C-alpha cells in the first residue's frame, strides 16, 4: 500500500490547488499552515524570486510568517474559526502598509521605511487566516506599466524572463504566476492589476471605487486608486475580494454597500446575460492575435446562452489624455509629503530648507516619478488649470456617462481586450507615451470608477492574452458571473499555435 504523502509534499501540491481546497485541508488538519508557508518560500527559492533573478519580492519575513502560521494552528486546535483564507500564503504590493516589513513603494525616497500601522486590507486578510509572506516589487509609487521603474530593479515575467510582467503590480502578478502564492494584493490607478494579470496569464480584479478601503494604501491618484486582487483563478479572486471588501470608517471614500458572496456565482448560468462589445476597444490596429482570442471568447459567451450586442463608448479615445492629466495632477499633490522632513530619505544641503527639499527629492525620486510630478504641477499651475485639469475633469464626466448610458440600455457587462498586445520585452519600450498606451483599454474603468476583471483567454507564441469584463458600479456579482462562465468555457480549449514557444 502506498504511504500517505508527507505534509511538506502535500503542502507543495496544495499551493497548486484552488484556495478552497487549500483552506479546507488546513481546517481539517490535513496540512499545517506552517507547511504551506514553508512550501511558499521553497517555491520562491525554486523559481528564483530573489533580486538576482525574477526580482519578485522587495521584502520577506519567514520568521514572522512562521509564527503567524503557528498561531493559526493553535486557533484551529481550539476549534476557533480560522477564516476563509486559513493558512493561505499571500503576497502584498509594497505600497500597502504593513507592520514589521518595509513599505517603500519601490522608491529610494522610502528605502527602509516601516509603517507604524497596517492597511485595512492587510488586517482583513490576517483576520481571515491569511499569512503575509512578503512585499512585492512595483513601479515606483505605482507609476508605470512594466515594473521597470522600480528603484530596486525590474521584475521579470515568470512565463518568459525576457519579458516584463506588466505594472505597476508586476511583482504581485509574478508571485501568483510563478506559483509562490495563490493570491496577492495589488493596486490600481489606471490598470495596474488587470494589465499585469493579462501579461502573466492570471486573473486580476479592480473593484468599484469605494468597494475596498484605501486606508494604508500610499496615495498616487486619490480619485482613481483602488486596492485590487490577483489570483490563479476567478474563484480565488472572488474569495479574496470578498475578504477585503466592505465599508471602513477609516476611509471617507469607502462605500457602505453590502458585499455579496461572489464565489456563489461560480455555477450561475449565463442565459439572458447581455454582453456589450464596445467598438472603440476593437480598433483596426489591434494585434490580430489579441483580436482572434477575443472573438473566440465572445463565441464562448454566445454558446453559453448570453447575448452579445455591439455598443459604443464614444469618449473612449480621450481616456489616456484625460488620465495623464488627472493622475499626475493628483500625484503632484500627494507626493509633496515626501520632503525629507517627516520620514524616509533626507539629503542634507548647505542651501537651507529649500535646498534640502530639492536634494532629497532629486535623489529619492526616479525619472518617471519626476516626469509625472512635473506634469501634474504644470497642469495645476495658474494659467493652465482651466485649460488642462478642469477640461480633463469635464471629459472624465463624459467618459463615466458613456458607461452609465450603456448599462442603462440593458447591457449587463462589457467584454474587451485587456491589453493591445501580449507582454513586451524588457527595455523594448523606451518612449513614455508608447508605454502609456499599454493601458489604453484599462484606464477608462478607473476614470469611471467601475469594476473590471482580466481573465486569461489564450496564448500567442506562448505568451498569455487576457480578456476584460467590465460591469456597472457595485455590480461585481455580474462581472464574476460572466468571468466564471468564460473560464469554464475556455478550459482545455486551444487555438492552433497556442502554447508554442
- Nearest-angstrom CA–CA distance, 141 and 359: 19
Query: How many CB atoms sit inside 10 A of residue 83's CB?
Result: 20
Task: Report DSSP letters for 425-479, one per residue.
Answer: BTT----HHHHHGGGTTTHHHHHHT--EEEEEEEEETTEEEEEEEEE-TT-HHHH
Looking at 335-442, list the stretches that DSSP marks H as alpha helix, in order from N- to C-terminal side.
352-364, 367-380, 391-408, 432-436
The active-site residue, picked from 34, 93, 146, 172, is 93
Cell of 263: 464565489
349 is catalytic: no
Residues 6 or more apart whose CB falls under 8 angstroms from that of 469 comprise: 413, 414, 415, 452, 453, 455, 479, 482, 483, 486
H or E element, residue 59: strand 57-60
Beta strands 274-278 and 307-311 are parallel
Residues 6 or more apart whose CB falls under 8 angstroms from that of 360 comprise: 109, 338, 339, 340, 345, 346, 347
Q: In what order do the strands lie in the sheet with 131-136?
A: 57-60, 131-136, 89-93, 183-188, 226-231, 203-206, 452-460, 463-471, 413-417, 274-278, 307-311
- Nearest-angstrom CA–CA distance, 86 and 19: 9
Nearest to 105 by CA among 145, 167, 150: 150
- Nearest-angstrom CA–CA distance, 229 and 239: 10
168 is catalytic: yes
Query: How many CB atoms sit inside 10 A of residue 16's CB?
Result: 13
107 is catalytic: no
Cell of 221: 491618484
DSSP secondary structure letter of residue 5? P
The active-site residue, picked from 34, 168, 172, 332, is 168
Point out the residues that are catalytic: 93, 168, 192
Amino acid at each position: 500500500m502506498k504511504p500517505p504523502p508527507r505534509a511538506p509534499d502535500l503542502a507543495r501540491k496544495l499551493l497548486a490547488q484552488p484556495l478552497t481546497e487549500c483552506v479546507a485541508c488546513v481546517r481539517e488538519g490535513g496540512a499545517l499552515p506552517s507547511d504551506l508557508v514553508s512550501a511558499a518560500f521553497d517555491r520562491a527559492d525554486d523559481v528564483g524570486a530573489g533580486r538576482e533573478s525574477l526580482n519578485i519580492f522587495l521584502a520577506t519575513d519567514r520568521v514572522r510568517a512562521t509564527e503567524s502560521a503557528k498561531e493559526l494552528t493553535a486557533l484551529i486546535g481550539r476549534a476557533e474559526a480560522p477564516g476563509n483564507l486559513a493558512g493561505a500564503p499571500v503576497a502584498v504590493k509594497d505600497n500597502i502598509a504593513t507592520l514589521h516589513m518595509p513599505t517603500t513603494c519601490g522608491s529610494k525616497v522610502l528605502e527602509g521605511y516601516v509603517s507604524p500601522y497596517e492597511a485595512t486590507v492587510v488586517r482583513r486578510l490576517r483576520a481571515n487566516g491569511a499569512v503575509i509572506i512578503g512585499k512585492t516589487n512595483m513601479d515606483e509609487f505605482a507609476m508605470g506599466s512594466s515594473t521597470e521603474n522600480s528603484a530596486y530593479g525590474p521584475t521579470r515575467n515568470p512565463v518568459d524572463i525576457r519579458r516584463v510582467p506588466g505594472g505597476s503590480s508586476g511583482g504581485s502578478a509574478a508571485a501568483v504566476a510563478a506559483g509562490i502564492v495563490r493570491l496577492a494584493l495589488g493596486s490600481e490607478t489606471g490598470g495596474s492589476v488587470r494589465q499585469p494579470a493579462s501579461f502573466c496569464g492570471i486573473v486580476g480584479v479592480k473593484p468599484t471605487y469605494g468597494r475596498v478601503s484605501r486606508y494604508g494604501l500610499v496615495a498616487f491618484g486619490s480619485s482613481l486608486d483602488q486596492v485590487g486582487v490577483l489570483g490563479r483563478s476567478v474563484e480565488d479572486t472572488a474569495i479574496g475580494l470578498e475578504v477585503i471588501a466592505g465599508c471602513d470608517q477609516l476611509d471617507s471614500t469607502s462605500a457602505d454597500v453590502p458585499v455579496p458572496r461572489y464565489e456563489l456565482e461560480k455555477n450561475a448560468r449565463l442565459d439572458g446575460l447581455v454582453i456589450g462589445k464596445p467598438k472603440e476597444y476593437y480598433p483596426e490596429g489591434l494585434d490580430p492575435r489579441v483580436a482572434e482570442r477575443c472573438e473566440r471568447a465572445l463565441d464562448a459567451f454566445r454558446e453559453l446562452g448570453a447575448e452579445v450586442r455591439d455598443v459604443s463608448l464614444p469618449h473612449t479615445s480621450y481616456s489616456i489624455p484625460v488620465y495623464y492629466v488627472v493622475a499626475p495632477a493628483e500625484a503632484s499633490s500627494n507626493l509633496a509629503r515626501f520632503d525629507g522632513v517627516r520620514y524616509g530619505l533626507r539629503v542634507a544641503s548647505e542651501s537651507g530648507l529649500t535646498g534640502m527639499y530639492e536634494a532629497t527629492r532629486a535623489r529619492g525620486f526616479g525619472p518617471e516619478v519626476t516626469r509625472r510630478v512635473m506634469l501634474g504641477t504644470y497642469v495645476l499651475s495658474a494659467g493652465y488649470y482651466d485649460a488642462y485639469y478642469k477640461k480633463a475633469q469635464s471629459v472624465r464626466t463624459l467618459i463615466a456617462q458613456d458607461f452609465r448610458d450603456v448599462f442603462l440600455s440593458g447591457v449587463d457587462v462589457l467584454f474587451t481586450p485587456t491589453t493591445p498586445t501580449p507582454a513586451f520585452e524588457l527595455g523594448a519600450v523606451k518612449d513614455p507615451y508608447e508605454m502609456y498606451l499599454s493601458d489604453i483599454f484599462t484606464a477608462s474603468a478607473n476614470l469611471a470608477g467601475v469594476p473590471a476583471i482580466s481573465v486569461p483567454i489564450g496564448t500567442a507564441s506562448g505568451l498569455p492574452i487576457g480578456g476584460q469584463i467590465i460591469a456597472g458600479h457595485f455590480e461585481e456579482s455580474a462581472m464574476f458571473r460572466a468571468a466564471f462562465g468564460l473560464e469554464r468555457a475556455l478550459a482545455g480549449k486551444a487555438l492552433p499555435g497556442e502554447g508554442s514557444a
